[in-house]
Amino acid sequence: MELIGDTEDVQFMLTHGANFTPWVLEHGEYYRLFTCMFLHFGIEHLFSNMLVLIFLGDTLERSVGKIRYLLIYVIGGLGGNLLSMWYDMKTGDFAVSAGASGAVFAVIGALVFIIARNKGKLEDLTGKRLGLMAALTLFQGFSSAGIDNSAHVGGLITGVLLAILLYRKKKRVPIEQYDHDSMQ
């Protein structure tokens, strides 16, 4: 998008699918709840979302598989955007929003549940490390202007709920159960 216009310009972003609650509700532009996940206000915004996915996305994908990962990402992002829309309606404070943060927080939420199910650790990721990362990210959002914190919280909650539904802990087979002769 940077190549065809200014992604920090609100009007440009609205033209290309950013979320704006009045347009979703009054004009039936429900697609914005989806398209806004793939738009970002500037390259730094995109970079910060992708950085979290680089560190956490592959861990979740290995734990749940490609299809379930995609479901958590997309439905989690939609969940974040729906909570954001509800909050906009409740407060009457309508802002244009875009970004993958709701989906990214869904990934974090899913990992919170999965790590808890795995006694506080998943691969090299511990509950403490993930908790610190989530807390710092939420703190940064709540202490900065122009951040859609309701999308973050909605994504986090949706991610936990989806992980409860979709995660299947891999069963470990004790080594004694393997027949050594049949493996050669």
Catalogue the active-site residues. Answer: 101, 152
CB neighbour list of residue 175: distance below 8 Å, 6 or more residues apart? none
List the alpha helices (DSSP H) in the chain. 10-15, 21-27, 32-35, 43-64, 66-91, 101-117, 127-142, 149-166
Distance, in Å, from the CA atom of 86 to the CA atom of 66, rounded to the nearest integer, reads 30
Of the candidates 168, 147, 143, the residue with the CA atom closest to the CA atom of residue 105: 147
Distance, in Å, from the CA atom of 99 to the CA atom of 101, rounded to the nearest integer, reads 6
Terminal Cα distance for the chain, rounded: 55
